[in-house]
Amino acid sequence: MRSIVVLALATSLALTGCGRQQTVGRTLPTVTAPGQTQVRLAYHGSVELGRAVEAGLDLFGVDADKGLAFGQVDQGGLAALQRAGLHPELVAPDSRMGIRNTFDKGYRTYEQVTTQLHAWADQHPDRMSVKSAGKAWENEREIWTTRITGPGDASKRPAVSFTANLHARELVTVEVAMNLIQTLVEGYDKDPAIKKMLDTRVVYVAPMMNPDGHHQAEKGGDWRKNTHKFAGGTGVDLNRNFPFQWGLVGTSNSASSDIYRGPSAASEPETQAVRDYLSSIPNLKIGMDYHSFSNLVMWPWGWTDNPPPDAPMLSAIGKKLAGFNHYKPEQASELYATSGTIRDFVYGQLHVPYFTTEMGGQNDGFDPPYARAQQIWEENKPGALWLISIADDPSQVTRRTGIDR
């Protein structure tokens, strides 16, 4: 188990202007990304964490039980956090927490994902097909989507969507989505429960929605956004760019920010492709978007603290999912307010319940050792299969208890 080692709390507090003397002989830790320093921040509630993000904290993840946030800031961000009344601690850079992606052996590249998806479809054409939703910003890489169902007329079968890797550096999400595809496609002939599921459901999986960004992460880059170049920086946070309540809260209008929302709603080709893909799925009933990390299961809304129209159903589903993986369930705004997200877009505009799983803990980060990635899939496999099982009528969760495969 890796741990975060606080190197210079006194230095941190002096640097951010809280009036304490700098400890003699202590220096800032070596910065491993240009202009960035890794920090740990104690916070009290969603409003305070939201202030930190809007002040410039590139949030990696949280330990919600301890009220600790982990991320990185530039020099100006440290001062901005202090002005917001917050006091970050500088910590030793940790390759699992961001800044450096190790891309451990076993993680698939974009090319390997492409090859594997088409191989599965070629091997099992009766149950799986692959289609591009469109090209990413660089106009080279396709955003691949898969459709998985049993033979026969599937036109009236309820559909479930799983999406992953809007944030490029969250490598483990691709592996979880790929494991889900493999489990369904190869399990059809082996597991009667999966066969029954696919004979009565249609499952759509998009395992890598940000292929250009993922390509950067494959090279060891700390890359969250897409690769759209602007005068003030590179990339748009695709999960702040969706055309529902765009630009309201938890975003930035600065291209240098890791939560840059883009020049307009759905300005990015990736967002447009995923928007149109999700909007075109017949009989879409429920879905999940995979992120890392923080061990959370979240449901709409993220843009407001007000409860959503289907609050009892969403809460019941979220809590059931959390019962499988033992993560913390909450309305997304309880973490901190965000807008322009895929989750709120699907629920708010398509009127389909959509959830977010932030998988893995502090010691996992975005790219845990590949063996751990497999364990994370095992944590989330029961919930994914259960979500498929209730697609005929998600509201059944409020009428029944103990629903299983």
Q: Does residue 101 lie in a domain region?
A: no
More confident: 405 or 231: 231
Do the Cβ atoms of 321 and 299 come closer than 8 Å?
no
Residues 223-251 have a mean pLDDT of: 97
30 and 133 assigned to the same domain: no
pLDDT digits (tens, 9 = 90+) for 171-218: 999 999 999 999 999 999 999 999 999 999 999 999 999 999 999 999
For 146-191, give the DSSP string: EEEE-SS--TTS-EEEEEE-SSTT-HHHHHHHHHHHHHHHHHTTT-
3-class secondary structure, 264: coil
* Residue indicated by tokens 């009528």: 393
- SS3 state of residue 265: coil
- Whether residues 260 and 386 fall in one domain: yes
* Shared domain check, 84 and 200: no
Q: Does the residue 4 lie in any domain?
A: no
Same domain? For 242 and 168 the reply is: yes
> What mean pLDDT comes out for the span 130-155?
98
Q: How confident is the model over 291-295, as a mean pLDDT? A: 96
User: What value does the mean pLDDT take over residues 64-86?
Assistant: 87
pLDDT greater than 90 at residue 6:
no
| DSSP structural state of residue 290 | E
Give a yes or no: residue 404 inside a domain. no
| Residue 238 placed within a domain | yes
**242 domain-assigned:** yes
Residue 17, domain member (yes or no) = yes
* 392 or 88, greater pLDDT: 392
pLDDT greater than 70 at residue 244: yes
Which pLDDT does position 87 carry in this prediction? 87
Assess whether 41 and 130 both reside in one domain. no
Number of domains in the chain: 2
Instruction: Write down the H helix ranges in 188-245.
Output: 192-200, 211-218
pLDDT digits (tens, 9 = 90+) for 100-122: 567 888 999 999 999 999 999 99
* pTM of the model as a whole: 0.88
Instruction: Place 92 in a pLDDT band, splitting at 50, 70 and 90.
Output: low
Whether residues 135 and 239 share a domain: the answer is yes
The CATH number of the domain holding residue 241 is 3.40.630.10
Least confident of 70-74, 186-190, 253-257: 70-74
Range of the domain at 78: 9-93
Q: What are phi and psi of 366, to 5 degrees?
A: -85, -25
Q: Are 335 and 64 in contact (CB under 8 A)?
A: yes
> Is the model more confident about 164 or about 39?
164
- Strands, E, within 247-317: which ranges? 284-291, 296-299
Report yes or no on 98 lying in a domain: no
Indicate if the pLDDT at residue 167 is higher than 80.
yes
Residue 103 lies in a domain: no
Mean pLDDT (the chain) is 88
| CATH code of the domain covering residue 55 | 3.30.70
DSSP state, 363?
T
87 contacts: CB under 8 Å, gap ≥ 6: 12, 13, 16, 18, 41, 42, 81
Task: State residue 99's pLDDT score.
Answer: 54
Cis status, amide bond into 301, omega within 30 of 0: yes
Give yes or no: residues 115 and 171 share one domain. yes
Q: Beta strands 202-206 and 142-149: pairing type? A: antiparallel
pLDDT at 18 over 80: no
User: Looking at the structure, do residues 81 and 142 belong to the same domain, yes or no?
Assistant: no
Question: Mapping DSSP to helix (H, G, I), strand (E, B) and coil, where does residue 88 land?
Answer: coil
Return the structure tokens found at 148.
Answer: 């998985």
